[in-house]
Amino acid sequence: MMDYTTLVAESKEGQEQPAKGMQSLYEVCQQVVDGRMGRGKRYEVAGLLVVLVLAKMAGMKSVLGKACWGVLATWDIRSKMRGK
C-alpha cells in the first residue's frame, strides 16, 4: 500500500528550486501571466483568481455562481470593515 500523505518535491537538474516555506494563495496567483488584452482590465488577474478559488471552495460550481459569490463576499467584507 502506498502512503499518499507525504509529497516529495522532485526537480530536474538545473531547475531553480522554490524558496523554502509556504506562499499565500495570492502570491502564487501573482505568478500567473495575464494574457488579457489591455483594454477593459478592471481587476488584476491575481485578485480574480483568488476570488475564483475561494468561491470554488465555498461550493460554487458555475462561473456565474462564483461571480455572484465574489460580489456578495465583497459586500459582506466591506460592511464588516465599516462596523455595520
What is the separation of C-alpha 57 from the centre of its chain, rounded to a whole number of angstroms?
11
The rounded distance, in Å, linking the Cα atoms of 38 and 59 is 31
C-alpha grid cell, residue 74:
465583497
Domain positions in the chain are 25-35+42-82
Instruction: Answer whether residue 71 shows pLDDT above 60.
Output: yes
Instruction: Answer whether residue 56 shows pLDDT above 70.
Output: yes
The rounded distance, in Å, linking the Cα atoms of 52 and 58 is 10
Residue 8 corresponds to which amino acid? V
Percent of the chain with pLDDT over 70: 75
The rounded distance, in Å, linking the Cα atoms of 23 and 29 is 10
For residue 79, count other CB atoms closer than 10 A to its CB: 10
For 10-50, write each residue's pLDDT tens digit. Answer: 555 555 555 667 889 999 999 999 888 888 788 889 998 99
* pTM of the full structure: 0.63
